[in-house]
Amino acid sequence: MINILRHLRALVLALALTPGMLLGAETARVEAGQPVQVVPIPLSMSNAYLVKGARGPILVDSGSKGDLAQLTTALAGEGLRIEDLATVILTHGHADHAGLAAEIRRRSGAVIIAGRADRAMLDAGFNSPVTATGFTGRLILLLPLDPRFEPLRADVEVDGTLDLAAYGLSGRAVQMPGHTPGSLVILLDDGRAFVGDMILGGWLGGALLPHRAGEHYFHMDVAGNRANIAALARQAIRKYFLGHGGPVSGAAVQESFSPGDAAR
């Protein structure tokens, strides 16, 4: 029985948290008429994104502490090194998104941007408690996942809205508490957005139907996160880049989250 439980834990974890396991990574490309190229980088437990900004390469989220070799290989495929990164923007302070941020800054001198309300979590290098949104989330919270990562203090802390022009992007970072207290959403002027774990793409962490928008497994503030999704759905966002699965279209978000979801 013990061996069966161990195998079950391993299977659930692999399916639920490994991005693109069955469908593979989205092909990186320069979208027609868009000056900024976004390269998805699927890592062991989450997605990171290389954004080729006008003032140097930007990494949105850094992956887990064990993802350095995988991230290095992905960057090399784009002719870049860790040392070339100019900026790292963290959508939130969880171990699978902020785990390599301190190491990247040490190697590259990159500016780290994060939500101010996630300072305590980043300082501690430890995930704060969250609330499961369904059965899968409750099951994942029972697994022996390591919530620790190297502590760090962001160089730029967003409390409200930050114009990203100084970092080579036409857009802004907005703190939207929900998944974590300091979760950031990056809104590009061209109608694309990076929303971290606000939304989940598909089932089993994006292994199935990764372009279907759904609710993430857990949040600090479930109602607040739903209100954030409703607010974004009212904006002219055509594509959402996610921390797990995705990307998803604006239409997919509007179809999956009705206006009444914020009040549930």
pLDDT at 205: 64
pLDDT at 3: 41
Contact, 119 vs 154, CB < 8 A? yes
Domain extents in the chain: 2-263
First to last CA, the chain: 39
Q: What one-character-per-residue DSSP string does 10-30 give? A: HHHHHHHH-TTTTT-PPPPBP
Residues of 72-98 as b/e, b for ≥16 C-beta within 10 angstroms?
eebbeeeebebeebbbbbbbbbbbbbb
Name the pTM for this structure: 0.85
CATH, range 2-263: 3.60.15.10
- For residue range 1-40, list pLDDT tens digits in order: 434 334 444 444 444 454 544 333 333 333 434 569 999 9
Position with higher pLDDT, 94 vs 2 = 94
Rounded Cα distance, 121 and 127, in Å: 6
